[in-house]
Amino acid sequence: MKLDILAFGSHPDDVELGCGATIAKEISFGKKVGVVDLTRGELGTRGSAEIRDKEASASARILGVSARENMEFSDGFFVNDKVHQLEIIKMIRKYRPEIVLCNAIDDRHIDHAKGSKLVSDACFLSGLRKIDTKFDGDDQWQEAWRPKFVYHYIQWKNIKPDFVVDVSGFIDKKIEAIKAYSSQFFDPGSEEPQTPISSVNFFDSVNYRARDLGRLIGVEHAEGFTVERYLGVNSLSDLV
């Protein structure tokens, strides 16, 4: 299955929090979008890997993504090395996306920046024909493939975006997808330990960040991204 967009997250829920509304909007345009979680989030204070597996599946159905996979890398301890890069390359060559979305370039959780660089490096390496890969269970050699664009969504830290996407009308879908992770976020009836992301303030911040970015470009809601190279437009009228 060839996808238009492949979104990577170090943990289940990273993609939803960072760019869930953008994904929902692109799917509404008929784009095929997939999500790849690098870990199962097994070191998370709340819930468990098994619970988060189910939550990720539920969230994928809400967003309407075409595929969702988990690399099962070690939460907290995966590294950006050849072994992990080759596994990401296999996934990129499997789905051949034009656009890759990945974690924030700098963030509170150490896995986010690590995941960001790992996926970015793998996107480049995936285009090198002399790197041979076979997808697990398949006897066919994969063809080289390099995505045209790599964009990094924004997470805990308020990184200044290089561009923002108008997601007005899709914030409710994003919130619904995030709420699928009921073990992780605010729940007044939960007896689990409190974490930085389980507070009311954090959950509210998802909406008010989108509203603030939207305010800056004159729309209701927006999501921000950073880029690794210059963005190009055909004309000034392409800008919102």
CA distance 240 to 194: 40
What DSSP element (H or E) covers 25? helix 14-28
**Dihedral sign, CA of 152, 154, 158, 164?**
positive
CA distance 127 to 121: 11
pTM to 2 decimal places? 0.96
What is the residue-wise DSSP string for 79-122?
Answer: -SSHHHHHHHHHHHHHH--SEEEE--SS-SSHHHHHHHHHHHHH
| β-bridge partners, 222 | 166
Structure tokens at 205: 């911040």
What DSSP element (H or E) covers 34? strand 33-39
pLDDT in tens, the chain (240 residues): 899 999 999 999 999 999 999 999 999 999 999 999 999 999 999 999 999 999 999 999 999 999 999 999 999 999 999 999 999 999 999 999 999 999 999 999 999 999 999 999 999 999 999 999 998 777 899 999 999 999 999 999 999 999 999 999 999 999 999 999 999 998 888 888 999 999 999 999 999 999 999 999 999 999 999 999 898 999 988 887
238 falls within a domain:
no
91 falls within a domain:
yes
144 falls within a domain:
yes
Report the CATH number at residue 214. 3.40.50.10320
CA distance 126 to 148: 12
210 falls within a domain:
yes
pLDDT tens-digit readout, 42-61: 999 999 999 999 999 999 99
Number of domains making up the chain = 1
236 falls within a domain:
no
In the block, which residue shows the tokens 């007044």? 188
127 falls within a domain:
yes
Structural domain that includes position 156:
5-230
CA distance 2 to 95: 5
237 falls within a domain:
no
Separation in Å, CA 15 to CA 81, 116, 133: 23, 12, 26
Structure tokens at 35: 């999500």
185 falls within a domain:
yes
